């Protein structure tokens, strides 16, 4: 037999032996890995819920049950139980296996002298293998009792099988490739090949293989994890977001920078009341912050805000279920006028929205904007607890802050999200300080927009006005060794919406809202919910109602459109004018079609708390979102979330980001009054079966693409970027060291 074939046979034999030994070793190792992984996750889940559990333990067993339910949203946890020290059951989740009663589990832990802090038991149920994680609650651990989590490990068996198939296939491919290389080597360069192999496996060559091995290991790690996530299904929850944060970013505390605070304390005649501001930003980010904890740095704008903070200007929120901090920054009237009303809302807001309002840029506003950005950036740097924190910078109020933060914290991961549209190059060119705005934003690690179009507009703006390299394939802006990823992350709402816990079912809302408005039970109701802003198309919306009534006399006296309009930015003249115009249009239409008590437009010009807004969503036949230009618009998603009866029709402007997500809405051009009027009529006549089909599909979409996914995706991308940057740093120092070793 030729020498090369002998060698080949020998090699294949050795590989087969390796495969068998490797498979045996792998099976045991992967099982241990998965058990460790699952157990670590349960510690994280209970750790994150520990505070609420301890608060609820003695006084609120129903609250404990709800917290356990939250923990078991991870579909690999079959069930959870809260056990009192004497073995009694305080609460369990629905699917908690009866075989593991508190008494039995605690008894077994005692027999095995397991730690009160944390103990695990690997065992079997008829359905397959399970792992029990038992974690002590209270200080010292176990003083209040213990939480038992039962994990379904049958997926490990499935994974084992997949891993084995993958290993066998890999060995097979490896063997094949090796054979080919061997044959070719034998034929063409036997001696040279042998010399090279010897060199490679001797100490001389080993170093070259190491980076490769590390990379392959990292890649496998990532694939295994991503695959795990897919297998678990796409539902994102607060628990999964917490886990993602802990896994990818080592659990550092998150600091959010946003102008608007999530809770405003206001003085009233009856004492201090807490307001929840009408802001898409707050709607989206508040649940994220509840899930992640940390600090929210914001402008303290309430009349009782100063009375409710501690000596460091911080207040714990949400009231009654404190889980994170709001750090309030006080602004003088001059600062607020220049930074908020002036540059942000008379300059950038109209610049970024196509809504026919002329941007006003004043040098004194710009000076305040710069100074206030610096003040907020400094406050963020004071709040972080490491030199590489995670900072979430929000919106157009803080275009300069990312660079300012980066300057003080070069290793920070800064995720900036621009909640409004990013305009095209011609429009951004209007801003006298466009270069400064763009440079400021490039301090971010990731810059997020609602849509891919806004990302493209931003990249084109960089191309037009700044010197920097654009990596178009990766959608990144490269400056020196730093890059800013520019990505679309369509924002969303929490799912399920916690406000709905306080809202009665649809039938009750229909009845009470009609009674409140003095309408007959069979009145047909449309609803609009907005800040009173010229971008929202409220005049156009009323014009469509006018055209609807003009074309449908059967609806006169029966159809009522309720507009909940929250006062906004009232110091700005453009908003004043709008206020007057909207009231005037409503008056004219009511005069045209109203009779007796009947008024087709009900303009409720006041701040409405979220629970009230959700009652109106539930009471209405339809909701009309008619924005002339809107980054996303979360009212549309909230309406969908409210309608758990599957009914109700959403009319949605084609100029909102939401129109890309909610394609089963009736999509309209708000400028086309007749088209919008026809859509209103179609909504009122739509058969229930069609309403259900559309609504259920939109509900699936919003449930799946909720705000936890939005935040999770940004965090995962940031972690990936951070890993690459750190690897690049290591490579640079490695090369430096090599250069020193072998000059």
What is the binding site for ligand F6P (CB under 6 A)? 259-260, 279-281, 395, 419-420, 531, 568-569, 631
Whichever of 544 and 634 has its CB closer to ligand F6P, that residue is 634
Whichever of 421 and 600 has its CB closer to ligand F6P, that residue is 421
- Non-local (6+) Cβ contacts of 550 within 8 A are 677
Whichever of 119 and 349 has its CB closer to ligand F6P, that residue is 349
Work out how close the CB of 572 gets to ligand F6P at its nearest, in angstroms, rounded to a whole number: 10
Work out how close the CB of 259 gets to ligand F6P at its nearest, in angstroms, rounded to a whole number: 6
Burial class (CB in 10 A: 0-12, 13-18, 19+), 685: exposed
540-556 burial, b at 16+ Cβ within 10 Å, e below that, comes to bbbbbbbbbbeebeebb
Q: How far is CA 119 from the centre of its chain?
A: 33
CB-CB contact of 411 with 387 (8 Å): yes
Whichever of 237 and 633 has its CB closer to ligand F6P, that residue is 633
- List 471's β-bridge partners, or say none: 476
Longest dimension (CA), the chain: 108
3-state secondary structure of 132: strand
Instruction: Examine residue 318 and say whether the peptide bond preceding it is cis (omega within 30 degrees of 0).
Output: yes
Whichever of 395 and 664 has its CB closer to ligand F6P, that residue is 395
Work out how close the CB of 524 gets to ligand F6P at its nearest, in angstroms, rounded to a whole number: 30
Q: Comparing C-alpha atoms, which of 128, 122, 136 is closest to residue 39?
A: 122
Whichever of 303 and 732 has its CB closer to ligand F6P, that residue is 303
Whichever of 83 and 352 has its CB closer to ligand F6P, that residue is 352
Work out how close the CB of 509 gets to ligand F6P at its nearest, in angstroms, rounded to a whole number: 25
- The distance in angstroms from the start CA to the end CA of the chain is 50
Work out how close the CB of 434 gets to ligand F6P at its nearest, in angstroms, rounded to a whole number: 19
User: How many other CB atoms sit within 10 Å of the CB of residue 246?
Assistant: 19
The enclosing H or E element of 652 equals: strand 649-653
CB-CB contact of 87 with 80 (8 Å): no
Whichever of 185 and 631 has its CB closer to ligand F6P, that residue is 631
Whichever of 83 and 377 has its CB closer to ligand F6P, that residue is 377
Work out how close the CB of 493 gets to ligand F6P at its nearest, in angstroms, rounded to a whole number: 12
3-state helix/strand/coil string of 141-178 = CCCCEEEEEEEECHHHHHHHHHHHHHHHHHHHHHHHHH
Work out how close the CB of 631 gets to ligand F6P at its nearest, in angstroms, rounded to a whole number: 6
Whichever of 82 and 625 has its CB closer to ligand F6P, that residue is 625
Work out how close the CB of 282 gets to ligand F6P at its nearest, in angstroms, rounded to a whole number: 8
**Please, what is the angle between helix 573-593 and helix 538-551, to 10°?**
10
Whichever of 76 and 531 has its CB closer to ligand F6P, that residue is 531
Q: Comparing C-alpha atoms, which of 538, 620, 523 is closest to residue 575?
A: 538
Q: How far is CA 701 from the centre of its chain?
A: 15
Work out how close the CB of 279 gets to ligand F6P at its nearest, in angstroms, rounded to a whole number: 4
Work out how close the CB of 219 gets to ligand F6P at its nearest, in angstroms, rounded to a whole number: 38
Work out how close the CB of 302 gets to ligand F6P at its nearest, in angstroms, rounded to a whole number: 13
Work out how close the CB of 729 gets to ligand F6P at its nearest, in angstroms, rounded to a whole number: 35
Work out how close the CB of 634 gets to ligand F6P at its nearest, in angstroms, rounded to a whole number: 7
CB-CB contact of 415 with 444 (8 Å): yes
The residue to which tokens 């980066």 are assigned = 406
Q: What's the Rg (C-alpha) of the chain?
A: 30
Whichever of 151 and 327 has its CB closer to ligand F6P, that residue is 327
Work out how close the CB of 394 gets to ligand F6P at its nearest, in angstroms, rounded to a whole number: 8
CA distances from 183 to 198, 199, 451 (A): 17, 20, 54
Residue in the shown chain whose Cβ atom is closest to ligand F6P: 280
3-state secondary structure of 138: coil
CA distances from 490 to 257, 272, 640 (A): 19, 36, 16
Whichever of 289 and 543 has its CB closer to ligand F6P, that residue is 289
3-state secondary structure of 721: helix
For 431-494, strand residue ranges (E) read 446-449, 469-471, 476-479, 482-488
CA distances from 197 to 169, 215, 480 (A): 24, 21, 39
CA distances from 587 to 214, 555, 573, 672 (A): 71, 19, 21, 22
Whichever of 145 and 277 has its CB closer to ligand F6P, that residue is 277
Work out how close the CB of 349 gets to ligand F6P at its nearest, in angstroms, rounded to a whole number: 8
Whichever of 144 and 566 has its CB closer to ligand F6P, that residue is 566
């Amino acid at each position: 037999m030729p020498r090369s074939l002998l060698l080949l046979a020998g090699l294949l034999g050795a590989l087969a032996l390796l495969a068998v030994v490797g498979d045996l070793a792998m099976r045991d190792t992967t099982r241990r890995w998965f058990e460790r992984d699952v157990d670590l996750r349960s510690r994280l889940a209970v750790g994150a819920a520990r505070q609420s559990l301890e608060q609820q333990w003695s006084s609120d067993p129903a609250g404990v049950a709800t917290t356990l339910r939250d923990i078991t949203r991870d579909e690999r946890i079959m069930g959870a139980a809260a056990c009192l020290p004497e073995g009694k059951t305080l609460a369990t989740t629905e699917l908690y296996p009866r075989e593991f009663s508190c008494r039995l589990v605690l008894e077994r832990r005692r027999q095995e002298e397991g730690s009160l802090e944390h103990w695990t038991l690997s065992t079997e149920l008829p359905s397959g293998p399970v792992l029990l994680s038992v974690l002590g609650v209270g200080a010292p651990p176990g003083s209040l009792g213990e939480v038992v989590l039962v994990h379904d490990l049958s997926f490990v068996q499935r994974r084992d099988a997949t891993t084995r198939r993958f290993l066998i296939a890999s060995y097979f491919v490896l063997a094949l490739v090796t054979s080919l290389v061997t044959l070719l080597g034998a034929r063409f360069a036997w001696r040279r090949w042998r010399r090279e192999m010897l060199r490679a496996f001797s100490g001389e060559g080993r170093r070259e293989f190491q980076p490769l091995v590390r990379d392959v290991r990292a890649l496998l790690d990532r694939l295994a994890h991503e695959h795990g996530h897919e297998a678990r299904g796409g539902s994102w929850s607060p628990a999964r977001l917490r886990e993602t944060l802990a896994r990818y970013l080592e659990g550092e505390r998150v600091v959010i920078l946003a102008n608007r605070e999530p809770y405003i304390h206001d003085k009233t005649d009856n004492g201090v009341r807490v307001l929840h501001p009408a802001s898409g930003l707050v709607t989206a980010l508040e649940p994220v912050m509840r899930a992640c904890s940390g600090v929210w740095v914001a402008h303290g704008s309430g009349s009782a805000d100063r009375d409710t903070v501690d000596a460091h200007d911080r207040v714990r929120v949400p009231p009654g279920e404190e889980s994170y901090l709001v750090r309030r920054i006080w602004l003088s009237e001059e600062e607020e006028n220049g930074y908020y009303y002036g540059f942000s809302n008379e300059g950038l807001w109209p610049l970024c929205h196509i809504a026919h309002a002329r941007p006003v840029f004043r040098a004194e506003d710009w000076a305040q904007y710069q100074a206030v950005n610096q003040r907020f950036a400094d406050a963020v740097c004071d709040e972080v607890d490491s030199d590489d924190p995670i900072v979430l910078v929000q919106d157009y109020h803080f275009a300069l802050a990312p660079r300012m933060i980066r300057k003080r914290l070069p290793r920070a991961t800064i995720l900036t999200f621009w909640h409004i549209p990013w305009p095209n190059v011609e429009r951004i060119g209007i801003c006298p300080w466009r270069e400064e705005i763009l440079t400021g934003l490039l301090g971010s690690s990731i810059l997020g927009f609602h849509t891919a179009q806004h990302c493209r507009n931003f990249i084109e703006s960089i191309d037009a006005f700044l010197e920097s390299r654009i990596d178009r394939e990766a959608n990144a802006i490269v400056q020196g060794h730093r890059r800013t990823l520019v990505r679309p992350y369509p924002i969303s709402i929490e799912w399920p919406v916690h406000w709905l816990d306080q809202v009665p079912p649809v039938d009750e809302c229909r009845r009470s809202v009609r009674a409140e408005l003095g309408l007959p039970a069979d009145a047909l109701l449309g609803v609009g919910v907005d800040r009173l802003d010229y971008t929202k198309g409220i005049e156009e919306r009323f014009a469509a109602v006018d055209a609807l009534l003009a074309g449908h006399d059967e609806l006169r006296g029966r159809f009522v459109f309720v507009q909940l309009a929250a006062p906004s930015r009232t110091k700005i003249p453009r908003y004043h004018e709008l206020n007057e115009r909207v009231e005037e249009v409503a008056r004219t239409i009511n005069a045209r079609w109203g009779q007796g008590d009947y008024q087709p437009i009900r303009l409720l010009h006041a701040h409405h708390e979220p629970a009230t807004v959700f009652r109106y969503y539930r009471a209405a036949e339809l909701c009309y979102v008619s924005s002339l230009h809107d980054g996303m618009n979360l009212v549309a998603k909230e309406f969908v979330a409210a309608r758990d009866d599957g009914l109700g029709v959403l009319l949605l402007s084609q100029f909102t980001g939401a129109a890309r997500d909610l394609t089963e809405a009736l999509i309209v051009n708000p400028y086309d009054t007749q088209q919008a009027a026809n859509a209103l009529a179609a909504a009122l006549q739509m058969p229930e079966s069609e309403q259900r089909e559309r609504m259920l599909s939109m509900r699936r979409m919003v449930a799946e693409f909720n705000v936890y996914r939005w935040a999770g995706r940004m965090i995962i991308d940031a972690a990936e970027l951070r890993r690459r940057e750190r690897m690049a740093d290591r490579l640079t120092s490695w090369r430096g060291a090599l250069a020193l070793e072998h000059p």
